[in-house]
Amino acid sequence: MKRGSRDFLTSDEREFYAKLHKKEKDGRKRDRIKFIILLNDGYSYREIARILLIEEQTLRNHWESYKSDGLESLLNFNYKGRCSKLSKSEQEELEEYLSENTYITSYQIRNYIRETYNKEYSKTGVIALLLCARYTSPPPRQMRSPLSKNKKHDNLVNSFLN
């Protein structure tokens, strides 16, 4: 249900945002643009949160970002992630080790890190670590047989490959 229009956007700005929304490929950015349009049209934070399936507090944060620095700030993702669990010297040591040794899966690299440095990483954490360490692509996945959906068959295929 619409409430009274807030009309903080001019008709030209609203039209520009609507066109920008149609051209944008990133769903997160489209949701942020929709948020501004819906807020302008008089929808409440609660209604917009329900429509976009986003927390109200997130929308309030978006509004503060938009008010202070405009649309460009709202569409800019500044999340950098947290610091690595490995020290700089450990990262360099790991890079050198991986340049001399080949691993097929991120799971194997996680085990090596756990055994060597006593630190836990998730699968995505290891991939992010490798990407930050100037590796151009994540480690390859184990090969799956295109002819089988059988896990035992895939393990047999991989045992011959290793």
How long a stretch of residues is the chain?
Answer: 162
What pLDDT shows up at residue 1? 43
| Short-list 32, 39, 37, CA closest to 16 | 37
Region of 134 (left: φ > 0; alpha: ψ -120 to 50; beta: rest) is left
Where does the pLDDT of residue 135 fall: very low under 50, low under 70, confident under 90, or very high at 90 and above?
low
Model pTM score? 0.51
> Which residue's entry shows tokens 């609203």?
14
More confident residue, 134 or 40: 40
Mean pLDDT of the chain, nearest integer: 81
More confident residue, 132 or 101: 101
**pLDDT tens-digit readout, 54-95:** 999 999 999 999 998 888 888 988 766 666 788 889 988 888
Burial degree of 35 (CB within 10 A; 0-12, 13-18, 19+): buried
